[in-house]
Structure 1
Amino acid sequence: MGTKQINKALNSLTNSILNDIIEKIDKLEIDEKDKEKVKNSVKTYNKTKKRQPPKIPLEKQCTETCKSGMKCTVPMCYNKVCWAHMSKSQREEYRINKEIKVNKI
């Protein structure tokens, strides 16, 4: 079973558990305001943590500007330029250098 399938199964399980809890809260004999507060806290329960993108330090970022005029934030790979901003000759040179490094290992 893949991780996506496991996450889907876990999310459906947590959803059913949360729905059961909400139904039990409805059956309690407490004030309506308190019921709504508890229901809202249960409904806003964070099921999965959102992954934060990796932060690339400024010294390892591309030095070129994008077409939109903003600074490129992609990691640099060769001569302080990212793969998208390389010319064809730079790409070929980068590939050759990379093949040489791989063959040495």
Structure 2
Amino acid sequence: MTKKQINKALNSLTNSIINDIIEKIDDLEISDDEKESIKDVVKSYNKTKTRSPPKIPLEKQCKELCKNGNKCTVPKCYNGICWAHMSKSEREEYRLIKEAKIQTK
């Protein structure tokens, strides 16, 4: 089976389990408001995992401050600063260094 087929099968299995849970909630002897709130929670169950952004270690982050005063959390690339905080001359110097590295490989 391919990954796509496996994910499709897992999604259909998850949907059937959720539908079974909703049917069992209907059979419970509780108030309608409580049933609806429980159903909403079950229906809104997130079936897919959300991808969290990569964590950049402090020693690899830019050391400059942003315009709003917060510390820049972008990865540093040259002299401890990121591309956004470089001056034009630093950017040109960085480009030349990168080109030299690529040509030597």
TM-score, normalised to structure 2's length? 0.69
Report if the CA contact (8 A) 1:25-1:39 is conserved.
Answer: yes
Q: How many residues align?
A: 97
What corresponds to 1:76 in structure 2?
76
| TM superposition shift of 1:15 | 9.1
Structure 2: runs of 5 or more not aligned: 1-6
What corresponds to 2:4 in structure 1?
none
| TM superposition shift of 1:48 | 1.5
Structure 1: runs of 5 or more not aligned: 1-6
Structure 2 CA distance for aligned equivalents of residues 69 and 41 of structure 1: 39
What corresponds to 1:59 in structure 2?
59
Shift of the 14–89 alpha-carbon distance from structure 1 to 2, 3 Å rule, reads farther
Report if the CA contact (8 A) 1:62-1:75 is conserved.
Answer: yes
TM-score, normalised to structure 1's length? 0.69
What percent identity do the matched residue pairs reach?
60
Q: Secondary structure at the match of 2:100?
A: helix
| TM superposition shift of 1:49 | 1.1
Q: Secondary structure at the match of 1:77?
A: coil
